Structure 1
Amino acid sequence: MEVDYLIVGQGIAGTMLSYYLLQQSNTVTIIDNYNPSSASNIASGVINPITGRRFVRTWMIETLMPFAVNAYRALEKELNISLIQQTNLLDFHSTPQMQLAFTNQLPTETEYLRVPENSLQWKKYFNYPFGVGETHPTWLVNLQLLIQTWRKKLSTQQLLIAEHFSIEALQIHPSYIQYQGIQAKAIIFCNGTQAVNLPYFQKLPFAPNKGEALILAIQQLPRQHIYKQGLSLVPWQSNLWWAGSSYEWSYEHANPTEIFRQKTLQQLQQWLQLPFEIKAHVAAERPATLERRPFIGMHPYFPQIGIFNGLGTKGCSLAPYFAKVFSEHLKYGQPLIPEVAIHRFHKILAP
């Protein structure tokens, strides 16, 4: 069998890249052994234009957010599902310093920050002695539904190999690759933290981190907002709530921990005034990078091998735009911006 591109991994990166490659009439096969606990499958799905304790704009958000919204709406039509909704974020300041930082940023960040109307209405749901601010618009993407529905479409069209990828079976030739009877112009790795150990990309400055979240049932909490005070409460599937997440840079394993569970319970009990019930506890490794910028492009010394990875916690906003950019780079030779192109690491990637 011959295809244009073999893609390894069907998280948000592999899903969006395959979507745009197929739109350009490329032939594609994806290799993915479905993992319900992958970073994409347990991510909250939030697109937030504001980040950090200083309430600054997320990198390239003016471009990334509108592109992502339009991309997910196009996918809604194609797949006949509901994927994205505007779900603004209410930030309940945890300290006087956080309240001051928000107040100081208000005069300059008028596009995304504001004080919500009737901010006292949330007193029956939360404890917040230092006030509340609103980020708008923020968006909520049902990543799990997208990945599952796209997977079904790939399977129906016989574009999916549902198994674990074996690097030992990959054969590199001067102008193509072969993998278990498949010949392709190139192979592109969209396999998250598994790419850290690939011989072609293990020298890249990956910085994987671990995130944990609790899945909660909370009766009577309005679902038209995302709520934040240190941790975030995000409307989740089946009328549940996603509570998280941690950012652990040093960890012994990628499994849920009792330490996170107890710490989050304590935070919730101090902040939330409604009863809640824990339904699940999830954890995953994120494919983050030291520069907090994605790794995109074809290997400078093995041009048949590419990567679309390192999206970290911003996969929902980064993946649509850069998947389209990468697909145009592959199809038409359009340049990648220097901040994401892996050619910036050509010296350390030398064999």
Structure 2
Amino acid sequence: MQVDYLIIGQGICGTFLSYELQKAGKKVLVIDEAQPFSSTKVASGVINPVTGRQVVTTWMAEELMPFTWNAYTSIGLEIQQQVIQNCPIQAFPPSEQMLEAYEQKMNNQPSFIQPIAANDIIDYHTYFYFNHGAVAISPAWLVDLHALLKGWRQKLEETSALLEESFDATQLQIHATGITYKNIQAEKVFFCNGVNTFQHPLWEKLPYSFNKGEALIVDIPDLPQNHIYKFGITTLVPWYDGLWWAGSTYDNRYTDALPTDLFRQRKTAELGMLLKGKFTVVDHIASIRPATVERRPFAGLHPTQPAAGILNGMGTKGCSLAPYFAHQLAQHLVNGQPITPAGDVRRFSATLSL
């Protein structure tokens, strides 16, 4: 079997890379196991242009926000699903200092922070305990990751572009002019398979880190689902079937990928201090996600083995970074356009060449 590109993994990186390459007229084959939702199963799907206690605008936010809206809208039309919606964040600062930090950012141009009307803040006292006002973060997007991955997987199946099996690294041979995997030949192979990417000798020297994320799935009757609600380290995000995603942790000292009793106890206690009404925990989810030490993705071709490439290490910003760098990587392959240097994996050429 001959294809242009072999892609390992159909998470958000593999999904958008295969989409962009197919759109450019290239023949791709994606290798992925029957259960594709690994780190995405705990991801909230939120694209937030503001982050941290210092209320910092996220890297490239002004460019990423419109790009991601267009990218998800485009792939949504392809799979006949609405996979992105506008869902402003209502942020409730945990202290006066945080409120002041938000208010100072309102004066920036452009600003992603807006005031909330006094009457709306009064209404929020019906649902929440809070003492330091509230502000809006807008625009903010909410991505339906399950619909996206399921819909694109079906599209890959329809075009005979999916090999549903576990990737066996021992079967991969990389040559100067291409790659061979079992009976498959391709120009290049791309590693988009999450934490497993870094088990391969090609990529094991990259400065990566693994973080564990956990979240509770909660039933909160009558809480309006037209906003995301943020309380310091706890965020409530509209989930599926009228439920809420409540999380998350970013733990790099974990022992396994399983949900922990400690997280469940702590997050349940936090929700009890935030919510005035009754709530019920209906599920508890966890997984491991790869990130980079410098919080910038790995995108591009290996400096000494250019038949191998990578799109990985998106961390907590995968919903915004993956579509953008998948597009850049596809354009680099097809049209020779450059990848943003801060995201190009060749910034680690010295390390990868050892």
Q: Establish whether TM, by shorter chain, passes 0.5.
A: yes
User: Residue in 1 aligned with 2:21?
Assistant: 21
Distance 2:36 2:334 in 1: 32
User: Residue in 2 aligned with 1:92?
Assistant: 92
**Deviations along 1:35-78, whole A, 9 cap, x unmatched?**
36511233100011111111111100111110110111112222
User: Residue in 2 aligned with 1:66?
Assistant: 66
Equivalent pairs counted in the alignment come to: 351
Pair 1:253 & 2:256 matched = yes
User: Residue in 1 aligned with 2:283?
Assistant: 280
User: Residue in 2 aligned with 1:327?
Assistant: 330
User: Residue in 2 aligned with 1:148?
Assistant: 150
Distance 1:267 1:36 in 2: 31
User: Is contact 1:68–1:317 with CA below 8 Å preserved after alignment?
Assistant: yes
Secondary structure of 1:281 counterpart: strand
CA positional deviation for 1:96: 2.3
Secondary structure of 1:238 counterpart: coil
User: Residue in 1 aligned with 2:213?
Assistant: 211
Distance 2:36 2:333 in 1: 30
User: Is contact 1:206–1:310 with CA below 8 Å preserved after alignment?
Assistant: yes
Secondary structure of 1:174 counterpart: coil
CA positional deviation for 1:85: 0.8
User: Residue in 2 aligned with 1:305?
Assistant: 308
The answer to which of 91-100 and 56-65 deviates more is: 91-100
Counterparts in 2 of 1:26-175, with a 5 A limit?
Answer: 26-35=26-35, 38-108=38-108, 111-117=111-117, 118=119, 119-175=121-177
User: Is contact 1:42–1:144 with CA below 8 Å preserved after alignment?
Assistant: no
TM-score normalised to structure 1 length: 0.98
Secondary structure of 1:339 counterpart: coil
Distance 1:71 1:205 in 2: 29
| Counterpart residue type for residue 290 of structure 1 | V
| Counterpart residue type for residue 18 of structure 1 | S
| Counterpart residue type for residue 198 of structure 2 | V
TM-score normalised to structure 2 length: 0.97
CA positional deviation for 1:142: 0.2
CA positional deviation for 1:104: 2.6
**Deviations along 1:176-223, whole A, 9 cap, x unmatched?**
111010000000000111112111000000011110000111110000
Distance 2:110 2:125 in 1: 25
Identity, % of aligned positions: 45
**Deviations along 1:272-297, whole A, 9 cap, x unmatched?**
11211111100011111001000011
Distance 2:172 2:76 in 1: 35
Q: 1:147 to 1:39 in 2, by over 3 A?
A: same
User: Is contact 1:37–1:282 with CA below 8 Å preserved after alignment?
Assistant: no
Secondary structure of 1:249 counterpart: coil
User: Residue in 1 aligned with 2:185?
Assistant: 183
Distance 2:37 2:326 in 1: 23
- Structure 2 residues without counterparts, runs of 5 or longer: none
**Deviations along 1:236-275, whole A, 9 cap, x unmatched?**
1111110001010111111100010001001000001121
CA positional deviation for 1:139: 0.7
User: Residue in 2 aligned with 1:238?
Assistant: 241
User: Is contact 1:3–1:29 with CA below 8 Å preserved after alignment?
Assistant: yes
- Structure 1 residues without counterparts, runs of 5 or longer: none
